[in-house]
């Protein structure tokens, strides 16, 4: 069983990495680049039948800082 | 126009971050966690009509290290 977790900063939280990417793209001559938000994607191999609550607990305890980040779980 | 880029290490490339996450999850008592692969997700606000070739060029020139990483473009 495989799960993909996408962890992104909540809107309103300053994203310095995104700002740096935006500036660098502009510096390379790419026009029309607006807001850039950077985040993490984590793909996990899990034992069959791992309940969604367990994946949620993994996110809340370790993988996402729920104060500043949102996470999305996709079962692949 | 919005695009989401998912950048992950190519299979076969050692992923120390993934290993660290795997060990930490085990340490927290989560059993049955197999291989873990960590990557980046970047969401870009682009001018309407930005051609896919331009987004590809952004990835190849800046956002992904195509020697070790794969990238996937989704238009949102």
∠ at Cα B44 (A15, B66), nearest 5°?
Answer: 100
Residue B71's pLDDT is: 97
Residue A11's pLDDT is: 92
CATH topology of domain B2-75: Mth169; Chain: A , (3.30.1280)
- Confidence class for position A63, pLDDT limits 50, 70, 90: very high
Mean pLDDT of B46-70: 95
Mean pLDDT of B44-65: 95
Q: With contact defined as beta carbons under 8 Å apart, do A16 and A24 qualify?
A: no
Distance from CA of A13 to the nearest CA of B (A): 15
Residue A17's pLDDT is: 96
Residue B43's pLDDT is: 96
Which of left, alpha, beta for A37 (phi over 0: left; psi -120 to 50: alpha)? beta
Contact between B42 and A46 using a beta-carbon 8 Å cutoff: no
Residue B33's pLDDT is: 95
Lookup result for tokens 């309103």:
A12
Q: Which of B31, B40, B54 sits opposite A30 (nearest CB)?
A: B54
* Domain ranges, ordered by start, for chain A: 2-75
Q: Which residues of A touch B58 (CB under 8 A)?
A: 25, 28, 30
Determine the 3-state secondary structure of A65 from DSSP: coil
Q: Where are the alpha helices (DSSP H) in A28-67?
A: 52-58
| Contacts of residue A5, Cβ cutoff 8 Å, sequence gap at least 6 | A40, A41, A42, A43, A44, A55, A59, A63, A64, A71, A72, A73, A74
Residue A69's pLDDT is: 96
Q: Locate B27 and state its tokens.
A: 């340490």
- Confidence class for position B52, pLDDT limits 50, 70, 90: very high
Residue B55's pLDDT is: 96
| Residue B29 DSSP class | T
Q: Which of B38, B44, B63 sits opposite A42 (nearest CB)?
A: B38
ipTM of the complex: 0.89
* pLDDT tens, position by position, A36-48: 999 999 999 999 9
Mean pLDDT of B22-48: 96
């Amino acid at each position: 069983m495989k799960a993909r977790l996408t962890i992104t900063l909540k809107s309103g939280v300053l994203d310095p990495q995104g700002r740096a990417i935006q500036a660098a793209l502009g510096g390379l001559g790419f026009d029309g680049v607006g807001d850039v938000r950077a985040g993490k994607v984590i793909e996990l191999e899990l034992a069959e039948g791992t309940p969604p609550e367990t994946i949620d607990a993994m996110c809340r305890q370790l993988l996402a800082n729920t104060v500043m980040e949102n996470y999305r779980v996709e079962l692949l």
